[in-house]
Amino acid sequence: MERLGSMAENRIDILMVSTFSNDYVMVKQQELDYCVSLLIQLGFELRKPI
């Protein structure tokens, strides 16, 4: 969770739930594109639902 400090530095409200195989992220709709971009830069992967 250390890498999420960047979210706090950018004043982004984020709720993250992590399971064994998936991470779920909830952010405000108006911040969605920015958050996705930032999380990808931090090393997270965007996966489409099947």
Taking the C-alpha atoms of residue 46 and residue 31, their distance in angstroms, rounded to an integer, is 16
Range of the domain at 20: 2-41
Does 19 map to a domain?
yes
Does 46 map to a domain?
no
Per-residue confidence (pLDDT) for residue 50, from 0 to 100: 66
Does 50 map to a domain?
no
The residues with which 23 forms a beta bridge, in sequence order, are: 18
How many domains are contained in the chain? 1
pTM above threshold 0.75: no
Does 49 map to a domain?
no
Cβ atoms of residues 25 and 39 within 8 Å: yes
Does 25 map to a domain?
yes
Q: Long-range CB contacts (< 8 A, 24+ apart) of 18-21?
A: none
Cβ atoms of residues 34 and 27 within 8 Å: no
Tens digits of pLDDT across the chain (50 residues): 455 566 667 777 888 898 998 888 899 999 899 888 888 888 888 877 76
Does 32 map to a domain?
yes
